[in-house]
Structure formats: C-alpha cells, structure tokens
C-alpha cells in the first residue's frame, strides 16, 4: 500500500486554485454584458474577448464547473468564459478516454559493406579507406576465409591513431565507433597462413525521430548493432518500452536516456518484456536498442503516458490500462463537501488497479487496490482540487469507475 501511495505522490498533479472574482473589467461589444478581465469569452453570448489572452485552467469556488476545460464559472453565466462551451452541454456525466492510435513506423535493415582481398605472403597488407556516413557503432568481421587462416585487422583514424587491433579468423569480429564525415583506414595483415578473405563492415544507421508512433518495426543484422530513436514526451508520467514481436531467442539491451545523456531506464528484453521510465513533458529522449543475442526483426512498442484528464462534474470515468507500471492521473473538483465513493464497476475478471485520491498538498485522502465491485470511500471538500490516480496492479484492459456522493 505504501508503495502504491509513494508512486502516485511522485506523479501527482500540481494544481492551482483560482477563486471567482466579482470584478467586471471588460464589456462585451456584441451584447454589452459585463465580464471579468480574466474571461476569454463573454459569459452571456459566447463572443470572444477582443485580443483575448490564454490563461491557466482554474477551478470554481462558487458557480458551476465546465466539463470541457475544468474552469469555474459564475452561476449567472451560460457559457464557459475560457473555452466557450455551453453550460448545458459541457457538464459531462462521464469521462471516456479517447482511443489511442496504434500506428507503426518501419525502417530498412542496416547496410553491410563487403570488402575483398588476398594475403599471399608473409607481412602482406591490404588497405581499405572508408568515410563514415553516420556517427555510431560499426562492426567489422571476417565473413569468409580458408580454415586455419588468421588475420591482423587494424583501424586508424585520419590522425593515424589506432582505434582497433584485432586478430581474426572466420566469423571473428570487433566493434568500433565512427564519426560521420571522418575517413578511416582499415588494414588487413597476414598473421597465420595465407588466402583470400571477405571482410564485412556493418554500418551504423541514422537516428530516427519516432515521436507519436506506438510501434517501431526494425531489425538487427550484426553483433552489437545499435539502433537509436528519439522522441519528445508529450506528457509527464510513466512510459513503457517493450518488445512486442521478435524471433524466438532474440534478446536486446534497451536503454532510455535524456538529452544530457543521463539514463532513465535500461534492461535486457526478450519478447513481451517491458521497461518503465518516468519522463517529463516536452523533453527529448533517446531510445537505444542494442543487439545482445541473435539477429533478426523486432517490433519495439512504446506505451505513452496520458494527459491529465478533468473529471469535474463527472459521475464516472472509463479508460484503459495498457501496460505494466502505467499510472493514469485525473483532476477532480467536487461540487459539495462530503463522502465520495469510487467503485470499479466494469473490468475483466482478474483485473486490479491501485486507486488513490490526493489533495493539493499531496496528502492521501484514501487509497487501495480495487477489483471489480470493490469501493474506495473518501471525504472531500467542495471547490478543492484533487488528483485521482489509477495505477496498474494486475492485468491490463478497459475499466470503468463510478463516483457517487
């Protein structure tokens, strides 16, 4: 229970309470109605305020609560002064979370360059010059040679600094980091016996922006290949990264880092394994998938945190828990002081959530684990802003919670 509460406290929404002022600071040019300075729309006819400025979403101390944006409006207004919603239409009985589009982006396999040569005498040497097109991890290996033949393979940068010195036989290889635009020299020298060879060079792939995509279809073609993706987190919260599909036996090292290079999470994943990371809205993150065991295609799933939804005026809310570790947050302002009961009325058998209600100071009003039919009752104060947090506990799927006063 303490673990549940702690997790929801960290992810709680910091809300500000704005009371309704009686001051009238502008007159509607359409109908002459007096409106407060902070109003963006006329409360009488819904006409927009001249040169209206956007404002933070407040809550009501007196009057009615807009179900569209959560704004507190005076009782005499027929339309929301922030978003213009009709009072009669915007007081929702229930909140239903929008469906998430599970779109996929696909990438071509990494390119492998084959370099051929022959070593026919002691101290023979074959040189190759290569200019890197992408900054990242490259891999060279002996793809073909006679049994018993072994080569010394060295890699030098443009300043003749030796980056690698390896002794390779058939299928042996090593990885090296190259910088885009730099030219490197690969030297293959005789070490044991003679013969023809094929030296393969697995090339790094460009970093791809996958913002907005739920699934990433890609592949690893060579040992220690690294595929990197960047995305911008749309909301604060917990995100999930999992291997949705891959061949049996494949394993990957998956890591998420922020723009400064600090690690947010990492782990070795096989099919259906998942990592969780708490990310900040508007920040850019890099997801690295490194080959660890086996080679082939995979689909990386990215489960996004959800925006904080307003439940003001709602008698129920319906949503979906999509992944292990997910936490969904809602803001809630009750119209009357008293006891409120949250009941998990609809869910599959075996489904369980952790539910907590927190005030603005992050103090728990109540929390517990709910299966279908279970209830949580808390005492709330009218006009106060609360955070209702739903956290994955067991299984995933759709659910509905009713709120009764």
Q: What is the CATH number of the domain that holds 191?
A: 2.60.120.380
Report the distance separating Cα 330 and Cα 37, nearest Å. Answer: 28
113 within 8 A of 163, measured Cβ to Cβ: no
Q: Is residue 217 part of a domain?
A: yes
Chain mean position to CA 113: 34
Report the distance separating Cα 174 and Cα 284, nearest Å. Answer: 31
Are 191 and 129 contained in the same domain? yes
Are 323 and 400 contained in the same domain? yes
Are 210 and 196 contained in the same domain? no
Are 298 and 339 contained in the same domain? no
Are 385 and 399 contained in the same domain? yes
Cβ neighbourhood burial of 332 (10 Å; 0-12, 13-18, 19+): buried
Element (H, E) at 264: strand 263-269
The closest of 279, 195, 186 to 231, measured between CA atoms, is 279
Structural domain boundaries enclosing 162:
112-202
In this structure, the dihedral spanned by the alpha carbons of residues 327, 333, 339 and 345, taken in order and rounded to 10 degrees, is -50
Are 280 and 317 contained in the same domain? no
Are 371 and 320 contained in the same domain? yes
- Positive or negative: CA dihedral 293, 139, 258, 304: negative
Element (H, E) at 6: helix 2-10
Task: Give how far Cα 60 sits from Cα of 71, 74, 179, 316, 338, Å.
Answer: 7, 8, 57, 20, 17
Residue that terminates a domain, selected from 150, 175, 202: 202
Q: Is residue 88 part of a domain?
A: no
Q: Is residue 389 part of a domain?
A: yes
Q: Is residue 368 part of a domain?
A: yes
Are 294 and 319 contained in the same domain? no
Are 295 and 317 contained in the same domain? no
Are 295 and 354 contained in the same domain? no
Task: Give how far Cα 308 sits from Cα of 56, 314, 330, Å.
Answer: 14, 15, 5
Token pair for 208? 């791809």
Residue that terminates a domain, selected from 259, 284, 303: 303
Total structural domains in the chain? 3
**Strand locations in 195-250 (E):** 195-202, 208-209, 215-220, 226-232, 237-246
26: helix, coil or strand? strand
Q: How many CA atoms lie within 13 A of 375 on its CB side?
A: 9
Q: Is residue 95 part of a domain?
A: no
388 within 8 A of 343, measured Cβ to Cβ: no
Q: Is residue 289 part of a domain?
A: yes
Are 226 and 195 contained in the same domain? no
> One digit per residue, pLDDT tens: the chain, 405 residues?
444 444 444 443 333 222 222 333 677 888 887 776 656 777 777 777 775 433 333 333 335 555 565 455 666 777 876 778 776 765 445 666 776 777 999 999 999 999 999 999 988 899 999 999 999 999 999 999 999 999 999 999 999 999 999 999 999 999 999 999 999 999 999 999 999 999 999 999 999 999 999 999 999 999 999 999 999 999 999 999 999 999 999 999 999 999 999 999 999 999 999 999 999 999 999 999 999 999 999 999 999 999 888 888 777 888 899 999 999 999 999 889 999 999 998 888 999 999 999 998 889 999 999 999 999 999 999 989 999 999 999 999 988 888 998
Report the distance separating Cα 45 and Cα 63, nearest Å. Answer: 18
Token pair for 166? 């390896």
Q: Is residue 162 part of a domain?
A: yes
200 within 8 A of 171, measured Cβ to Cβ: no
Are 176 and 250 contained in the same domain? no
What is the DSSP annotation of 16-41? ---PPP----EE-TTT--EE-TT-SB
Q: Is residue 299 part of a domain?
A: yes
- Give φ, ψ of 191 to 5 degrees: -130, -50
Owner of token pair 């998942």: 274
Residue that terminates a domain, selected from 143, 169, 202: 202
């Amino acid at each position: 229970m303490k673990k549940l509460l702690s997790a929801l406290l960290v992810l709680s929404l910091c809300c500000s309470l704005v009371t309704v002022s009686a001051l009238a600071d502008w007159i509607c040019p359409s109908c002459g109605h007096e409106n407060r300075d902070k109003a963006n729309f006329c409360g009488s006819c819904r006409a927009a305020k001249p040169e209206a400025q956007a404002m933070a979403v407040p809550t009501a101390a007196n009057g009615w609560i807009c179900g569209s944006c959560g704004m507190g409006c005076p009782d005499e207004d027929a339309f929301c002064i922030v978003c213009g919603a009709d009072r009669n239409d915007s007081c929702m009985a229930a909140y239903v979370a929008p469906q998430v589009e599970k779109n996929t982006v696909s990438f071509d396999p990494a390119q492998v360059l084959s370099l051929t040569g022959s070593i026919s005498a002691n101290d023979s040497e074959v040189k190759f010059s290569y200019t890197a097109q992408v900054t990242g991890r490259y891999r060279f290996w002996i793809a073909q040679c006679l049994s018993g033949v072994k080569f010394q393979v060295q890699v030098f940068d443009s300043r003749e600094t030796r980056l690698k010195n390896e002794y390779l036989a058939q299928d042996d290889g090593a990885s090296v980091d190259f910088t885009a635009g730099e030219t490197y020299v690969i030297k293959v020298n005789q070490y044991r016996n003679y013969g023809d060879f094929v030296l393969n060079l697995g090339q790094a792939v460009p970093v791809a922006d996958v913002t907005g995509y739920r699934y990433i279809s890609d592949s690893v073609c060579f040992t220690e290949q690294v595929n990197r993706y960047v995305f911008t987190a749309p909301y604060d919260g917990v995100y999930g990264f999992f291997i949705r599909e891959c061949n049996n036996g494949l394993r990957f090292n998956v890591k998420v880092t922020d723009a400064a290079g600090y690690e947010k999470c990492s782990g070795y994943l096989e099919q259906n394994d998942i990592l969780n990371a708490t990310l900040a809205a508007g920040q850019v993150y890099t997801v690295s998938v490194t080959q660890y065991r086996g080679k082939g295609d995979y689909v990386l799933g990215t489960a996004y945190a959800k925006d904080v939804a307003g439940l003001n005026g709602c008698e129920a809310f319906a949503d979906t828990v999509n992944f292990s570790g997910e936490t969904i947050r809602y803001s809630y302002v009750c119209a009357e002081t008293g006891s409120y009961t949250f009941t998990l009325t609809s869910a599959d058998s075996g489904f369980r959530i952790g539910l907590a209600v927190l005030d603005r100071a992050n103090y728990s009003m109540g929390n517990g684990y709910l299966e279908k039919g279970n209830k949580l009752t808390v005492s709330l104060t009218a006009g106060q802003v609360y955070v209702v947090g739903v956290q994955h506990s067991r299984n995933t799927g759709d659910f509905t919670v009713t709120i009764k006063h």
